């Protein structure tokens, strides 16, 4: 069999170089893909960044809502203080009645 095309170097995971046989048509197609790859990669990174930003924003929103629902410490403390004051007043009244 006659070999068509030629060889193309491919870097693997371990950075060793493999030679792969491919036809001229495949070579052309790979050249086209290689040209398109950086743009696609940039688009993907942009999408990922956008996704992360959106996630952060939603988390912030959730946190904000939680804080709105939960009464702040000062009001809690104030209410507790008022309750104790009321109880003490009632206790004094009861003691005076004796």
34 or 12, which is more confident: 34
pLDDT at 18 over 70: no
In terms of average pLDDT, the best of 20-24, 30-34, 60-64 is 60-64
Report how far Cα 56 is from the mean position of its chain's Cα atoms.
6
- Structural contact between residues 15 and 9, judged by C-beta atoms closer than 8 angstroms: no
| C-alpha–C-alpha distance, residues 8 and 6, integer Å | 7
d(CA 96, CA 76): 31
Rounded to the nearest 5 percent, the helix, strand and coil shares of the chain are 70, 10, 15
Given this model, what pLDDT does residue 16 score? 46
């Amino acid at each position: 069999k006659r070999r068509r095309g030629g060889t193309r170097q491919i870097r693997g995971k371990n950075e060793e170089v493999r030679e792969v046989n491919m036809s001229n048509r495949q070579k052309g197609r790979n050249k086209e893909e290689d040209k398109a790859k950086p743009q696609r990669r940039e688009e993907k990174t942009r999408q990922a960044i956008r996704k992360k930003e959106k996630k952060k924003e939603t988390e912030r929103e959730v946190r904000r809502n939680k804080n709105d629902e939960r009464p702040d410490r000062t009001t809690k403390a104030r209410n507790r203080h008022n309750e104790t004051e009321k109880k003490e007043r009632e206790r004094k009244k009861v003691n005076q009645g004796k």
